[in-house]
């Protein structure tokens, strides 16, 4: 297995896609003593804090009482089934939390978890959120029910029976790069921008949702043109990241600028400008320093990770 360095990817669970439609297998896993269950309340997972933050897996003997709650298969690790349970409807469930076990939102806790555990949260949060917001058939409006261990929903209307699948929304995020005319990579300049709601001093890669009927390369060029008035040529893929707020897939790229001219769209951005490579290196190193005058977003973000790779610092 290729190990990942991108936050929210790198789960060690085998998603067991070929077992999901096997009702008898699924029932056996739900009832197996060894099975483990991750509780989510208002999309916040239960986290064990003693001795370092980690996922607080519930053993099957306790989870059996939650059998009526929406449950989905996360996958298998060494043959042991792992499930996520949405416990919102359980009266008083918040009482489970104490000094050592708390329901904590994914974005806050992810930096404290191992990469494989954060990746499990990305899957659990996106999927649980999808079920919560897709309880009715988009085709006829009748209630729908989860199927395939939670990986699809089926309309309850016999005249419709439409099947619905979880969605992933692709977002392109990119560094515009102005190659040095003399071919000196160290003299390249890098485009970063900031939105008004960013914390002071934070500049990031530009980003935007892909639109239907668009390739990744086209979306990258369009976003750079729309937000910064930048003309670009070649686009190179760097890395991708699941971003479970609620269900984006971030696609990180670098695009070569064909001119240094910028026209910043003031509706989208407060500022966008060129930075020298050494400035961006300093901003990357300062990404978790709240007092730094200029910094990139923290390591959890793909903006941070693609900049690090572009600079050859990973």
What is the smallest separation between the CB atom of 162 and Zn ion, expressed in angstroms?
5
Burial class (CB in 10 A: 0-12, 13-18, 19+), 213: exposed
Half-sphere exposure of 18 toward its Cβ, with a 13 Å CA cutoff? 1
Q: How far apart are CA 151 and CA 60, in angstroms?
A: 21
Q: Does 140 bind Zn ion (CB under 5 A)?
A: yes
Burial class (CB in 10 A: 0-12, 13-18, 19+), 229: middle
State residue 10 phi and psi, 5-degree precision: 95, 25
What is the smallest separation between the CB atom of 157 and Zn ion, expressed in angstroms?
5
Q: Which stretch binds Zn ion (CB under 5 A): 73-81, 83-91, 140-148, 183-191?
A: 140-148
Q: Which is nearer to Zn ion, 142 or 311 (CB)?
A: 142
What is the 3 state secondary structure string of 57-108? CEEHHHHHHHCCCCEEEEEEECCEEEEEEECCCCCCHHHHCCCCEEECCHHH
Q: Does 152 bind Zn ion (CB under 5 A)?
A: no
Q: Which is nearer to Zn ion, 63 or 155 (CB)?
A: 155
Q: Does 157 bind Zn ion (CB under 5 A)?
A: yes
- The pair of structure tokens assigned to 212 is 């239907």
What is the smallest separation between the CB atom of 145 and Zn ion, expressed in angstroms?
11
Q: Which is nearer to Zn ion, 155 or 219 (CB)?
A: 155
Q: Which is nearer to Zn ion, 154 or 285 (CB)?
A: 154
Q: Which is nearer to Zn ion, 60 or 157 (CB)?
A: 157
What is the smallest separation between the CB atom of 160 and Zn ion, expressed in angstroms?
3
Q: Which of residues 120-139 bind Zn ion (CB under 5 A)?
A: 137, 139
Q: Check: CB of residue 94 under 8 Å from CB of residue 43.
A: no
Indicate the pairing of strand 36-41 with strand 80-86.
Answer: parallel
Q: Which is nearer to Zn ion, 59 or 143 (CB)?
A: 143
Instruction: Give the 3-state secondary structure of residue 264.
Output: coil
Neighbouring CB atoms inside 10 A of 15's CB total: 15
Indicate the pairing of strand 36-41 with strand 206-209.
Answer: unpaired
What is the smallest separation between the CB atom of 143 and Zn ion, expressed in angstroms?
9
Q: Does 160 bind Zn ion (CB under 5 A)?
A: yes
Q: Does 156 bind Zn ion (CB under 5 A)?
A: no
What is the smallest separation between the CB atom of 134 and Zn ion, expressed in angstroms?
12
Instruction: Give the 3-state secondary structure of residue 12.
Output: coil
Q: Does 76 bind Zn ion (CB under 5 A)?
A: no
Q: How far apart are CA 234 and CA 293, in angstroms?
A: 32
Q: Does 164 bind Zn ion (CB under 5 A)?
A: no
Q: Does 80 bind Zn ion (CB under 5 A)?
A: no
What is the smallest separation between the CB atom of 265 and Zn ion, expressed in angstroms?
40
Among 63, 106, 155, 262, binds Zn ion (CB under 5 A): 155
**Contact positions toward Zn ion, by CB under 5 A?**
137, 139-140, 142, 155, 157, 160, 162
């Amino acid at each position: 297995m290729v190990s990942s360095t991108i936050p929210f990817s790198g789960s060690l669970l085998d998603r067991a896609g070929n077992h999901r439609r096997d009702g008898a297998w699924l029932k056996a896993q739900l009832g197996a003593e060894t099975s483990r269950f991750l509780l989510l309340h208002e999309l916040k997972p239960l986290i064990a804090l003693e001795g370092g933050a980690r996922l607080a897996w519930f053993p099957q003997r306790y989870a059996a009482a939650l059998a009526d709650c929406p449950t989905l298969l996360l996958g298998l690790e060494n043959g042991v089934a792992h499930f996520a349970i949405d416990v919102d409807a359980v009266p008083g469930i918040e009482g489970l939390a104490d000094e050592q076990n708390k329901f904590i939102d994914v974005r806050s806790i992810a930096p404290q978890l191992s990469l494989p555990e954060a990746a499990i949260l990305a899957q659990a949060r996106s999927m649980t959120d999808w079920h919560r917001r897709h309880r009715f058939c988009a085709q006829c409006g009748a209630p729908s029910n989860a199927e395939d261990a939670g990986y699809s929903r089926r309309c309850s209307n016999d005249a419709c029976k439409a099947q619905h699948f979880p969605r992933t929304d692709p977002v392109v995020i990119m560094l515009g790069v102005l190659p040095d005319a003399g071919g000196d990579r160290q003299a390249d300049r890098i485009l970063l921008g900031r939105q008004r709601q960013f914390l002071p001093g934070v500049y990031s890669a530009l980003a935007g949702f892909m639109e239907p009927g668009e390739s990744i390369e086209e979306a990258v060029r369009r976003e750079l043109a729309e937000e910064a008035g930048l003309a670009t040529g070649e686009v190179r893929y760097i890395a991708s990241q699941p971003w479970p707020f609620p269900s984006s897939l971030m696609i990180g790229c670098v695009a070569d600028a064909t001119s240094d001219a910028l026209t910043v769209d003031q509706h989208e951005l407060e500022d966008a400008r060129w930075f020298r490579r050494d400035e961006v290196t300093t901003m990357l190193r300062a990404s978790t320093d709240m007092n730094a005058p200029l910094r990139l977003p923290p390591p959890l973000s793909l903006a941070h990770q693609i900049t690090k790779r572009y600079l050859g610092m990973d």
